[in-house]
Structure 1
Amino acid sequence: MSRVAETIRNWRQDGWPLVAALSFAQLVSWGTIFYGFPLFVVSMETELGWGRGLLNGALSFGLLTAGFAAYPVGRIIDRHGGRLVMSLGSMLAVLLFAAWAWVDHPAAFYAIWFGLGLAQAGTLYTPVFAVLTRMFPVDFKTRITVLTLTGGFASTVFTPLIAWAIEALGWRDALLLMAACNLVFCLPVHGLLLRDRAVLPLEKPADAGRPESSHPVPSRPMHKALRNPVFWGLAVCFTFYLLAHAMLIFHFLPMLNEFGIPLVIAVAIITVIGPAQVGGRILLLFGRKMETVTTGYVVMALFVTAMLLLAAFPAAVPVLFVMAAIYGGANGMMTILRGTSVPELLGREGFGAISGALVLPASIAAAIAPSLAALIWELTGGYAAVILTMLAAMLVSAAGFVFAVKARK
C-alpha cells in the first residue's frame, strides 16, 4: 500500500495531474472551438438565409486570425507563462459562443469569428505545447504525446454531442451549451490549476550580467531562428503539409463521391482517420525513445504513401480504407512532431515565439486550401488534379523536413 501511495505522490509531484487536466481541457477546446463549426452551417443557412460561402468565409477569417495571433501569443508565453493567455482564450470562447447564439447579422458573425480565432490561438495545441515545453524541459515529449492522445478524441466526442444538441435544443441553445462547456471545464483549468513555473534557460546568455529587461528573452531566439535554415525547412514542411491536409479533409467526401463510392462506404472510410490518429499517437507513446528525426522520416513516408495510394487507386474501396488508416496514423504523429521538432532541432529557448511564427504561413495555407482545391477542380473538371496537387504538396513537405534535418548544425 505504501508503494502505491508513493507512486501517487511522485505522480503528483511530477506534474501529471496538471497534464491530465490540460489534456481534458484540450478535448473540450478542440471539440467546441474547432470541430463545432460545420455542424451549424445548415441550420444557419435555413434560419438566416445566409449563403454557404459567407458562412465558411467567417471560418477562414478565424483561421487566419489564429495564425497571425500565434506569434504574439507565443512571445507572451515565453515571457510570462501560459496562465493568462490560456485563461483569456477560454473566456473569449465562453463570451463569443454566447454572442453567436444571438447573432443575426453577417458583420457580427465575422467579428465573432475574429474573436474565436484569437481564442484558438490562446487555447489549442500551439500554446499548450509552449507551456509544457517551458514547464517540463526534460520530458516534454512524453507529456505532449499524452496530451495529444486525449485531444485526438475531440471530434469523436463532440461531433455527435453537438449534433444531438442542435437536433434536441436548436442551434442557438447548442451554442450556449458549448459556452457552458468552456466555462465549466476549460476556464478553471487554465485560470486556477495552471501555475507557471520559472524554468532556467538551457544556456547562460553571454550578457547575463546585464538587466534582463534590456534584452527580452523571446526576441534573440526568434532572430536567431530566422537566420537558421532549419527554421525555414520546418516552415516549408508544416505549410505544405497543412495545405494538403486541408484540401483532403474538406474535399474527401465529394472526392469519393466523384469516383463512385457510395455515401455510406465513403463516410466509413473517412471515419477510419480519427481512430488511426489516436493509434499513431499511442505508437509514439510506447516508442517515446524514438528520436524526433526518425519520427519525422516515418511520418513523411506515410503521408507520401497515402497520397500515392489515393492517386493510383481512387475507386478501390479496400485500398481506400488502407489509405485512410495510413493517413490517419501519420496525421496523429504529425501533431506531436510539430510540437517536438522545434525544441529538438532549434532548441527550447523562445519555443513559444518560434512555434507561433511557424504557425502563420501554415494557417494561411490551411485557410486557402479548400478554395484552391475547388478552383483546381473547376479548371480541370475533376478531382484527379487535386489529388496530384496534394501528392506534390506532401512531397514538398517531406523535402522541407529533410532539408531541416540536414541543415541542423
Structure 2
Amino acid sequence: MITDNIGQESKLSYYGWVVVEMAFLANMIAFGIVYSFSVFLKMLSSDFGWTRAMTAGAFSAYAISHDVFALFAGWLTDKFGPRVIAITGGLCLAGSMILMSHITMIWELYLCYAFLLGWGVAASYTPMMATVSRWFTLKRGLAIGLTASGLGAGSLVLSPLAAWLISSYGWRIAYVFVGAMAFTVFIPIVIFIKKSPMESYEVKSQMEAIADFSLVEALRTRALWTLSFSWLFAALALWAIMIHIVPLLTDKGIPLTIAGFLAGLAGGGSMIGRISAGFLSDKLGRKITLITAYFFQLVMLIWLLFAKEMWGFFIFAPLFGISFGGWAGVIAAFPADYFGLKATGTIFGFVVIMAGIGVAIGSFMGGYIFDITHSYNYMIVMCILATFVAIVLASLMKTPEKGDLYA
C-alpha cells in the first residue's frame, strides 16, 4: 500500500498536493507579514522617534523567539499533527497584526512581534514543511519548492499592498487589514490540512535507504551542523537585505509605493527560484542546486553594492529573489533527506533555530550599521561575506550514516 501511495505522487488527485496548497497559503500569509515589516519599519521609526536599530530589534526579537517556538512546534507536529498547530498559528498571526494597530510604546512593538508573531510563524512554517516532507518521497523536492514559494507569494502580495495601504490610509489601518486577511486565509488551512499516514514513515525511509535519526543522534553528525550554519549565514545575508530594502530604497529618493513594489518583485522572483530549484534538485541533486543558488545570491549582492539608478534596482529585485528563492526552496528538504522522517519535525525545528539566529543578527546589524555609518553599504558588504561563508559550508555537506556519529 505504501508503494502504491508513492506511485500516486505524480497524480493531481493525490491528497498530498492538497496539503501542499494549504501549506503554500500558510507560508504566504505568515511570511507576507514577515516581509512587510520592511515597509512598516521606516514609518514606525519616524512616527515614534525610534532609531532604526531599535525598531529593527523587534524583528530580531521575533527571529529569536521564533527559533525557540519552531523547535516546540516541530515536536508538537511530530506528536499531534499539523491541524491544531495551524489553528494557534492563524490566531496569533491575526492577533499580532490587530494589536499592532494600537501600539504606542516600544515594548508593545516587541510584544506583538516577539511573542504573537513569533509563535504564529513558527506554527505555520515548521509544521507545514515537515508535513509536506512526509507526504512525498519521489516528488519531495518539487513539493517543498512549491510550498516554499508561498514565502515569495506573500512578499509579492503583501509588501506592495502594505505600501499602498500605508500611503492611502496610514500604517494603523494597514495593520488591521493585514490581520483580517490572515484570519480569513487560515480558515481553509485548518479544514484541509492533515498529516500523512503514520505507518508510512518507516517504510518510506527504508525505500529511500536512509536511517531514521533522532534529534540527539542528528546533533552528533557533521551534516546537521554544516547544514545549520550554512543556513544561518545565508539567512543572515538574506534578511539583512529584505528587512532594510524599503528604507534603503526610500533613502535613495525612491517613493514608498515603488520601494514596496520592488520588495514585492523580489518575492515574486523568489517564487520562480523556489519552484524551479525544487524541480531541478530532484533531477540534478540538492547540494549542487543549493550551492549554485548561493553563488547567484553572492553575485546579486555585489550588483546591489554598486547599483545607483532606478533601472539597477529593477534588475536587482527579481534576480535577487530568484537567487534566494533557489536556495530557500531546496534547503528545507535536507532534514528529511539526511535524517529520515521519524523526527523530521523536531530536527527541522532545530535547523530553523540556527537559521533564525542568522535572521536576528542580520536584521539588527543592518539597522545598527546604518545608525553608525548613515549608509547601508557596509551592511551589503557584511551580506556578501556571509553568503561566501554559506557557500563554503554547503560544499562540506554530505549524507550522514549512523556509523559516523560523534561520541
Is the pair's TM-score, using the shorter chain for normalization, greater than 0.5? yes
1:46/1:329 CA distance change after superposition, 3 Å: closer
**Secondary structure at 2:102 match in 1:** coil
1:123 paired with 2:124, answer: yes
The aligned length equals 383
Are 1:230 and 1:346, in contact at CA under 8 Å, matched by a contact in 2? no
Q: Equivalences for 1:67-216 in 2 at 5 Å? A: 67-113=67-113, 114-124=115-125, 126-186=126-186, 188-199=187-198, 200-202=200-202
2:219 corresponds to: 226
2:289 corresponds to: 295
2: CA distance, partners of 1:377 / 1:279: 31
Q: With structure 2 as the length reference, what TM-score do the two structures score?
A: 0.80
Are 1:292 and 1:344, in contact at CA under 8 Å, matched by a contact in 2? no
Q: Equivalences for 1:9-408 in 2 at 5 Å? A: 11-31=12-32, 33-41=33-41, 44=44, 52-113=52-113, 114-124=115-125, 126-186=126-186, 188-199=187-198, 200-202=200-202, 221-252=214-245, 263=254, 267=259, 273-284=266-277, 287=280, 288-310=282-304, 313-315=306-308, 324-376=317-369, 385-405=378-398
Per-residue Cα deviation, 1:8-48 (whole angstroms, up to 9, x for no partner): xx6334332332233233322322x3133344445555766
Q: With structure 1 as the length reference, what TM-score do the two structures score?
A: 0.79
In our comparison, the structure showing a higher alpha carbon Rg is: 1
2: CA distance, partners of 1:51 / 1:78: 41
2: CA distance, partners of 1:285 / 1:358: 19
Residue identity matched to 2:292? V
Query: 1:339 Cα deviation (Å)?
Result: 1.2
Query: 1:65 Cα deviation (Å)?
Result: 0.7
User: Gaps spanning 5+ residues in structure 2: where?
Assistant: 1-7, 206-211
Are 2:71 and 2:349, in contact at CA under 8 Å, matched by a contact in 1? yes
1: CA distance, partners of 2:85 / 2:215: 20
**Secondary structure at 1:128 match in 2:** helix
RMSD of Structure 2 on Structure 1 (CA) = 3.6
2: CA distance, partners of 1:362 / 1:100: 26
1:73/1:270 CA distance change after superposition, 3 Å: closer
Residue identity matched to 2:84? L
1:13/1:254 CA distance change after superposition, 3 Å: closer
2: CA distance, partners of 1:176 / 1:310: 33
1:321/1:239 CA distance change after superposition, 3 Å: same
Are 2:73 and 2:349, in contact at CA under 8 Å, matched by a contact in 1? yes
1:221/1:399 CA distance change after superposition, 3 Å: same
**Secondary structure at 2:201 match in 1:** coil
Percent identical among aligned pairs is 22
1: CA distance, partners of 2:109 / 2:300: 37
Residue identity matched to 2:182? N
2: CA distance, partners of 1:18 / 1:103: 36
Are 2:60 and 2:363, in contact at CA under 8 Å, matched by a contact in 1? no
